[in-house]
Amino acid sequence: MLFGAPQYLVSGLTVGATYGLTALGFTMIYNTTGIINFAQGEFVMLGGMLSVVLLKAGLPLPLAILAAVLCSALAGCLMERAVIRPVGRSAPVNLVIITIGVSILVRGVVMLVWGKDTFALPAFTGAKPLRILEASVQPQSLWVLAITLLVLGALKLFFSRTIHGKAMLACACERKAAALMGISVERMAMFSFGMSGFLGAVGGAILTPITLTSYDVGVMLGLKGFAACILGGLGNPFGAAAGGLILGVLESFGAGFISSAYKDAFAFIVLLLLLFVKPTGLFGGPKSDRV
Amino acid sequence: MAAFACLLAAAPLALSNDYYINILILCCFNALIVMGLNLLMGYAGQVSLGHAAFFGLAAYTTAVLTATAGLPVWVGVPAGIAVSALVAWLIAVPTLKLQGNYLAMATLGFGIIVSIVFNEAVNITGGPSGFVGIPRLKLLGYTFSSDTAYYYLTAGVLWLATLVSRRIIDSRTGRALRAIHVSEQAAQAMGVDIARHKRFVFVLSAVYAGVAGTLYAHHLTFVAPSSFGFNFSVQLITMVVLGGMASLWGAVAGAFFLTSLPEFLRVFEEMDILIYGAMLVACMMFMPSGLAGGLGKLFAVLKAKLKPEPKPEPKPEPKADSRG
C-alpha cells in the first residue's frame, strides 16, 4: 500500500519548496502593504526564464541564475515604484487588479520576446539519481531543499538581526507607528516587493531543471503559492513556507496514491476542507502576530 | 431602463457584420455574469474568484442533458441554472463564514477544482478538447438559428436581469446587503440576518452566471474547459472593478468594454495581451472608481465647463442609481 511513499515524499517536498518560496513572497508584500500580489507567480517564471535566457547568452550557470534573481528583484522594486506607489491608499481590490494587470503585462512581454516554447535548465550537479531509502532522488531535489532551507535561515537572521529586517517587522505590526519612528514605510514597501521578486525567482530558478519553464508557468505556481500562504495562515512567513511543503507533499501523495489526473485538485480540496474547519489557516490564530 | 432597452435594441442595427453581432452576444453573456458578481462584490462586499465555475457548471449541465441524454432544451436550460444555484447554495454555507483573502482563496480553490473536473472527467465532458454537438436553442417550435435572433434573446434576458437587479438593490434586501458591506457587526446589530443575506446574494449571482452559461452553451453549440478556468474568473472580477463597483451600469459597461477590447486589439496581433494588461493597470491607476465613476466625473467636469452659470434645478444624473 505504501509502496512508493518515500519517492512521493521527496518529489512533494521538492515542488513544495518552490510553493513555499512563492508563498514567502506573498507574505512579504502582504505584511508591509496588505496587498495580495497576483504577479507573484510571474516572479517565479522570470527567475526560471531569465536564467535560461542568460545561460543561452553565454553566462555560466551560477552567474546566470544570480543575474536572473537580481533582475527579478529589480523588477519587483520597479513594480512597486511604477504602479503601486502612485496609487497610494486606494481600495485593496483595485490594487489587486493592478497586480493582475502587471502579471498579464509581464507574461505578455516574456511571450513576445522569447516565445511560447518550453525551456529547460541543466541540473546543477548532474542528473544521476541517488538512492536514499528506496527512493531515487535527483541531486537537484537536494539542491532545491538545501537552498530553500538556506533562504529560510537567512530570512530568520535578516528579521531578527538586521535593522532593515526589524524595520520591516515594524511596518507589518503597525504602519503608522513605524512611520512615526522614522521608518520610511514606502521604502519598506518597495523593499518587500524586491524581496518577494528575489524569493520567487530563486524558487523558479532552482525548480526549472526539474519541471521546465515557459512564459505561462507563473499562473499555477502563483495560485499554489497563494494557497500555501493561506494554508499556513496569511502573514506568517514560516507558516507560508511550511504551507508550501505540506501542499507539495499532499499533491504528490494524491497524485501517487489516488489519481494523477486530479493532482492539482487535491491541494485545493484539502485547503478548502481546512478553511471550513479552521478559517485562519494552520498556523494563524486570530490574535497571532502577523510575522 | 428604457434608454438601456433602446440601446440594446439598436446596437445590431449599427452593425452589418455577423462577427460583430457575435461579439455583442458575448458581451451580453459576460454582462449577465458580471451583473451578478457585482451584486455579490460591489453591493455585499464578498469577493468570489471562482465565478467562472458557475458559468461552466450550467453550460456543461445543459450540454450533457440535451446532447448526451437527448432531452429537450427547455429541460436542459432550467436544469443547468438549477445546478449552478444548488452548488452555490451548498458551498455558500461553509465558504461565506470566511472573510477577505480567505474567502477569495476558498472560491478560487472551488473554481479550480471545478475546472479540473471539466478537464479530467473525459467521458462526461469530453475533456480538454471540449464538448461538441450541443443543439441550438429551440423554444415553442422556434429555433434561434440566426445570430441576430439570438442577440435579441440574450439582450432581452440581460435587460430583464438588470430590472431584477435594480429591484433587489432598491429593496430592503439590497439595503441589508450594503449594510453588510460596510460592517457586518453593525448590520447584525441592526437585525440583519447576515448568513441568510450573504447566502442569498451568492446563490443569486450564481444563478446569473448559470443563465449566461446555458445561453452560452446553446449559442456556441460547443464548450471547452478553457472557457471556464481561473483566467475567466479573473476577467470577470476585472470587469466588475473596471466598470465600477456597486454600479449596475458600470458592471454592464465594464463587461462590454473588456469583452470587446481584445477584438479591437486583434489588429495588433500578439501585442494585444500587452495592451490589455497595460490598459488594466492604467485604468485602475487613473480611474480608481471604474468607468462609471470616471465617466461620471468626466461628465461633471464637462458640464461645469459648458455651463459656467449654475442652474438652480439639479438635473437628474443618468448615473444617479450608481450608488444604489
Q: What is the largest CA-CA distance in chain B?
A: 70
Alpha helices in chain A (DSSP H): 5-33, 40-56, 61-79, 92-114, 139-161, 163-173, 175-180, 185-211, 218-232, 237-257, 263-277
Backbone dihedral region for residue B16 (phi beyond 0: left; psi -120 to 50: alpha; all else: beta): alpha
Place of cell 479573473: B234
Q: Is any Cβ of chain B less than 8 angstroms from the Cβ of A279?
A: yes
The pLDDT assigned to B209 comes to: 95
d(CA A230, CA A226): 6
Helix (H, G, I), strand (E, B) or coil at A115: coil
B142 phi and psi angles, rounded to 5 deg: -100, 125
Q: Which residues of B272-293 are buried (b: 16+ CB within 10 A; e: fewer)?
A: bbbbbbbbbbebbbebbbbbbb
> Which ranges of chain B have pLDDT less than 70?
15-16, 140-141, 307-324
Of B102, B112, B284, the CB nearest to A94: B284
The pLDDT assigned to B321 comes to: 45
DSSP letter assigned to residue B11: G
Q: Do A105 and B238 lie within an 8 Å CB cutoff?
A: no
The pLDDT assigned to A135 comes to: 73
Q: Do A94 and B280 lie within an 8 Å CB cutoff?
A: no
* Closest residue of chain A to B273, computed from CA coordinates: A108
The pLDDT assigned to B201 comes to: 92
The pLDDT assigned to A189 comes to: 87
Helix (H, G, I), strand (E, B) or coil at B143: strand
d(CA A199, CA A245): 15
d(CA A72, CA A58): 19
Of A97, A234, A281, the CB nearest to B241: A97
Q: Which residues of A12-44 are buried (b: 16+ CB within 10 A; e: fewer)?
A: bbbbbbbbbbbbbbbbbbbbbbbbbbbbbbbbb
DSSP B231-272: HHHHHHHHHHHHH-TT-HHHHHHHHHHHHHHHHHHGGGGGGH
Contact status, residue A205 vs residue A194, Cβ threshold 8 Å = no
Contact status, residue B94 vs residue B159, Cβ threshold 8 Å = no
B310's enclosing H/E stretch is: none
The pLDDT assigned to A51 comes to: 92
Helix (H, G, I), strand (E, B) or coil at A213: strand
Give A18-52 pLDDT, tens digit per residue: 899 899 888 888 888 888 888 999 999 999 999 99
- Which candidate, A182, A140, A176, A146, places its Cα nearest to that of A163? A182
* Closest residue of chain A to B288, computed from CA coordinates: A94
A218-232 helix and A263-277 helix, angle to the nearest 10 degrees = 30
Identify all chain A residues contacting B95, using CB atoms and an 8 Å cutoff. 276
Q: For residue B92, list its beta bridge partners.
A: none
Q: Do B278 and A90 lie within an 8 Å CB cutoff?
A: no
pLDDT along chain A (291 residues), means of 10: 76 89 88 85 92 90 92 93 82 81 90 87 78 78 89 87 85 81 85 91 90 86 88 83 91 85 82 80 56 38
Contact status, residue A225 vs residue A42, Cβ threshold 8 Å = no
The pLDDT assigned to A284 comes to: 64
The pLDDT assigned to B186 comes to: 87
DSSP A130-196: EEETTEEE-HHHHHHHHHHHHHHHHHHHHHHH-HHHHHHHHHHH-HHHHHHTT--HHHHHHHHHHHH
Helix (H, G, I), strand (E, B) or coil at B1: coil
Identify all chain B residues contacting A272, using CB atoms and an 8 Å cutoff. 106, 109-110, 113
* Closest residue of chain A to B113, computed from CA coordinates: A265
d(CA A94, CA B132): 38
Q: Do A276 and B120 lie within an 8 Å CB cutoff?
A: no
d(CA B90, CA B114): 14
* Measured CA distances, A260 to A5, A8, A170, A220, B28 (Å): 15, 12, 44, 16, 38
Of A83, A112, A264, the CB nearest to B116: A264
Q: Is any Cβ of chain B less than 8 angstroms from the Cβ of A111?
A: yes
Question: What's the grid cell of residue A7?
Answer: 519517492
- Which candidate, B28, B48, B49, places its Cα nearest to that of B40? B48
ipTM score: 0.79
The pLDDT assigned to A45 comes to: 93
